Structure 1
């Protein structure tokens, strides 16, 4: 796929649907358990990645991020960031090679995309995209309610979707960015994605060195390249 040199955004205000607070609370509790297991696994297998993680967010930092992004973040997102606020970037990325963004970098990525979108508002809908499953993700090129949590440094991301399509779920994890015209639901929540990722690591389905971390099967050098194979729609 041709690499693009521009990014674009679409803005829309959205709040968490009513009635999901209990489910989010359960998901946040599960996230605490997942971080304990992930920290332990990293300490044994990738201590350099564990050492690269920042300390956790305060409630004030999370509230400030919500204010800056004009959104309500899912409770499991907040639970995730209370343990570690991204990574320093001195080694490979936590997310199968993609860098785990701290809150400042989340905002700076989001802000850069918003500013670029202001230069040409039509770009948000001018580029065709696809959703897998169908109608789970809005078929925009980009949406300001897609919040990046990981990056590959070429304009592509993993993120949480706060403005899903009619069959999607608030807080689902998706791929999006400069080259990600085919968008996939990787998990219905950040908790679900972290559980899947941890399972790949614990089962040995990874390959790693100081500057690289990826799935072993299917073989790849960039996680986003195999998202269609792993999550369907290929």
Structure 2
């Protein structure tokens, strides 16, 4: 959707953008050679991405801030732009406005990821824990020792009643481990219980080893809350090795968060890995979107400072689950084909374009990214029946759209390798894809201006 009648807003005024465009013309060798000069970037209320060399000067900052203030006044988070500046100075500026169905690229002028299914998540963030029916508490779990230690450290605290503990279990839909019940029978950690005793939270944190949540604030670690962006997540995979104590997950109904270190969450684990223990203590890193780290085999070990950490990367980011084909990677699609394959990335190779025939019918293939010109027959994609994310070049998308062969299993999509492509064509392709799912359309405003001829 292209709007050539910009609304009455300074962010839609060519004059607002003119200082930035003039700065980008500092190295306009193309115009000097009688060719049009093309430039692209992204400016937002909280940052920008511009093709400027070195550190930004004060003049450049003033020019960018002018646009950022205009966006703030209009309530717009950010806008991507492209401009064609002809040797005469005649300029066509295209502004691509935020769209609810587009996950904007961070730090790049790219269009971003088209979210075709609202609220959708990549498979690793939907994965549920594997059953652990034989798991039992660690031998170090000692209810009497734990309670005695906590009561010595925290005398006169108000503990939870059995009814309050039962209410927490009903709300969470799980049976809390006995060690956690012991902890909350000693203190339910409600701020109102402490009144004017402002040192109580610190004493509790010192007694347990971490800041303690109130019983009413216990919650499971939600995988969806840890999801970052499709652009980052679609090519990720997770796994749980046979010797792992913690399952490779983004979250679990059995990860019950009960404390923190001020940023990361501390949880008891009711869905441990093959070598883990029921009720073990794990740390969920707020800077990571997948996985958790073993802190202690039991809550007793944690309180008695008998930690046993297991640091493990819970991602299957290598063969056979994730494969890359092309320059510097595997040389054939056959080499990547495996029943466990989930993510396939194809880059330009040394020979002819690749056929997807070897991976047709693979049961777990969910992500395909292919650089422009790398596929012998884009229509083979229609035979990949489990794709949830697909990134192709504009011409490959055009083939699928014209043939009515876009996989309807997709939850998200991206248009890659767009250098040299007309932004109008890119937005048109994106809007065709969004329309297939009934999603909001992208609006691109076109402004005309004159920056003057080459000096």
Shorter-chain TM band: 0.5 to 0.7
Query: Which residue in the other structure is 2:174 paired with?
Result: 71
SS in 2 for 1:144: strand
What runs of 5+ residues in structure 1 fail to find an aligned partner?
A: 1-7, 41-49, 198-226
Structure 2 counterpart of 1:231, from 294, 298, 309: 309
Contact 1:55 1:85 in 2 (8 A): yes
**Residue 179 (structure 1) shift:** 1.9
Deviation at 1:76, TM superposition (A): 1.3
Q: Which residue does the alignment assign to 1:146? A: 255
Q: Does residue 30 of structure 1 match 2:30?
A: no
1:184 aligns with 2:184: no
Output aligned runs, 1:22-171, within 5 Å: 27-39=142-154, 55-88=158-191, 91-92=201-202, 94=205, 98-107=210-219, 110=220, 113=222, 116=225, 134-152=243-261, 154=263, 156-171=264-279
Shift of 1:38: 2.2
Aligned-pair distance for 1:160? 0.4
Q: Describe the SS at the equivalent of 2:154.
A: helix
Determine if contact 1:11/1:145 at 8 Å carries over to the other structure: no
How far is the alpha carbon of 1:150 from its aligned partner? 0.5
Measured against aligned partners, the alpha-carbon deviations of 1:6-57 in whole angstroms (never above 9, x if no partner) come to xx67655968758x58969x722121111133237xxxxxxxxx9xxx6111
Q: For 2:205, what is the secondary structure of its paired residue?
A: coil
Cα offset, 1:86, TM superposition: 2.2
Correspondence 1:173 to 2:285: no
C-alpha distance in 2, partners of 1:70/1:15? Answer: 17
Secondary structure, in 3 states, of the residue corresponding to 2:216?
A: helix
RMSD (Å), alpha carbons: 4.4
How far is 1:184 from its partner?
2.4
Mark the structure with the bigger radius of gyration. Answer: 2
Distance in 2, matches of 1:126 and 1:55, equals 48
More strand by share: 2
Distance 1:143 1:10, change over 3 A: farther
- Any idea what SS the aligned residue of 1:145 has? strand
TM-score by length of 2: 0.32
TM-score by length of 1: 0.57
Task: Give the CA deviation at 1:149.
Answer: 1.0
Query: How much has 1:64 moved relative to structure 2?
Result: 1.3
Contact 1:87 1:100 in 2 (8 A): no
Pair 163,29 (structure 1): closer, same or farther in 2 beyond 3 Å:
same
Rounded Cα–Cα distance in structure 1 between residues aligned with 2:171 and 2:160:
15
Deviations 1:124-156 (A, max 9, x none): 9976668899511001122121101112454x2
Aligned residues of 2:223 and 2:250 also touching (Cα < 8 A):
no
Task: List runs of 5+ in structure 2 lacking aligned partners.
Answer: 1-124, 313-455
Is the contact made by 2:212 and 2:260 (CA closer than 8 Å) also made in structure 1? yes
